[in-house]
Amino acid sequence: MATKSAVVQELESPSPEATPDVSLAGRDLCSVADLTTTELAGMLALAHDVKTNPSAYRWALDAKQMVMFFEKASLRTRLTFQTAMNTLGGSALFVDQTQSPLGERESLADIARNVERWVQIIVLRTYAHETITEMAQYASVPVVNALSDLEHPCQAIADFMTLEERFGNLRGFNFTYVGDGNNVCHSLMLTAALLGAHCTVGSPKNYAPKADIVAQARAIANVTGSNITLINDPIAAMTGADAIYTDVCTSMGFEHEAMKRAPIFKPYQVNETTMALAAPSAVFMHCLPAHRNAEVTDAVLDGPQSVVFDQAENRMHAQKALLLMLLGKGQKCL
């Protein structure tokens, strides 16, 4: 993982405005903070190009193999990674770990030392973030965090790709997240900070994002010129926002808290009234699946300001860019 000092050092020596030519070959992506501003900009630029010119990358990962170990159920993450790899010319192998968590049958070190001999990249969707960092420690091939209890970097990268499509450069953009300060929230804060966007998180008391992630995001934001703001008032959080983002109030692994959380998060619902507090051109965002008429009403989720299905589509394009860069194939293969 990139250290804070490394990220700040890169931020203090910014690259030219032209599209960065960067490589992540052989690296891992355990956290958004593993990326510098230049690397994130390069990944987003590549994602836009892959989306616009898919045939140019059709065989870029010919004969490459990707394995996905998933401890959690998935629709978007699984299918977008599979379609991304397959349409780049490679193969995607899926291993269902929902009934047998990684490390239970044999050690993560032994799994890594086996798998690295057969495939070129490992994608993990886990409960414990330590499962991902430990796999990255032992595997000689790139390891990707496709969701952990701490972060969801692939989601956040696709989300900010979606915002770039709509608004262009996001420096100074007012991004608001309301709801649980969870793994998605963590990655969104870090991504906003790297891109110079202002990020406001409105969450109930005792449900704020983790303090160390907030500190990490603020250290980056101090250099990029953005702000990371945490408040408990959902109305204040949404007023004037250029984008309002929410997620379920009970993430996977916390289902036992659902009844307790429901009344606490009710004031944070995004509905037509609260959406009207945002800027006139504002968009509504959600990582899906949504609990309709819980954290967001049908009127907003299906309304004209919603870009949730654009986000879902862009998971595939952003992950194509990620795979290309980690496997050292970030150039067009005409």
Over the stretch 41-93, which tens digit does the pLDDT of each residue have?
Answer: 999 999 999 999 999 999 999 999 999 999 999 999 999 999 999 999 999 99
Q: Is 125 a catalytic residue?
A: yes
Q: Is 264 helix (H, G, I), strand (E, B) or coil?
A: helix
**What residues contact 329, with CB distance under 8 A and at least 6 apart?**
60, 61, 88
Q: Is 315 a catalytic residue?
A: yes
DSSP 219-235: HHHHHHT--EEEES-HH
Q: By C-alpha distance, which of 113, 170, 122, 172 is closest to 143? A: 122
Task: Calculate Rg over the CA atoms of the chain.
Answer: 19
pLDDT for 17 equals 37
- Cis status, amide bond into 280, omega within 30 of 0: no
What pLDDT, in 10s, does the model give residues 148-181? 999 999 999 999 999 999 999 999 999 999 999 9
Q: Is the pTM of this model over 0.75?
A: yes
Residue 131 has pLDDT above 60, yes or no: yes
Fold of the CATH domain 4-151+315-326:
Rossmann fold (3.40.50)
Give the active site residue among 78, 152, 186, 317.
152
Give the alpha-carbon dihedral of 243, 126, 212, 274, to 10 degrees: 20
Q: Is 154 a catalytic residue?
A: no
pLDDT for 21 equals 67
Give the active site residue among 30, 185, 249, 287.
287
Up-side HSE of residue 298: CA atoms within 13 Å toward CB? 0
Give the CATH number of domain 155-311; options: 3.40.1260.10, 3.40.50.1820, 3.40.50.1370, 3.30.530.20: 3.40.50.1370
Give the active site residue among 82, 97, 155, 216.
155
**C-beta neighbour count of 24 within 10 angstroms:** 21
Amino acid at 165: E
Cβ-based burial of 63 (10 A; exposed 0-12, middle 13-18, buried ≥19): exposed
Specify the domain boundaries for CATH 3.40.50.1370 within the chain: 4-151+315-326, 155-311
- Cis status, amide bond into 263, omega within 30 of 0: no
Give the active site residue among 186, 242, 247, 305.
247
Residue 12 has pLDDT above 50, yes or no: no
Q: Is 27 a catalytic residue?
A: no
Sheet of strand 174-178: strand arrangement: 228-231, 198-202, 174-178, 243-246, 283-286
Query: Which two tokens mark 167?
Result: 């608004």
Residue 18 has pLDDT above 60, yes or no: no
Q: Is 287 a catalytic residue?
A: yes
Query: Which two tokens mark 20?
Result: 């960065």
pLDDT tier, 329 (very low <50, low <70, confident <90, very high otherwise): confident
Angle, vertex CA 40, rays to CA 300 and CA 32, nearest 5: 70
Q: By C-alpha distance, which of 21, 15, 57 is closest to 37? A: 15
Amino acid at 287: C
Compute the average pLDDT of residues 221-249. Answer: 97
Q: Is 155 a catalytic residue?
A: yes
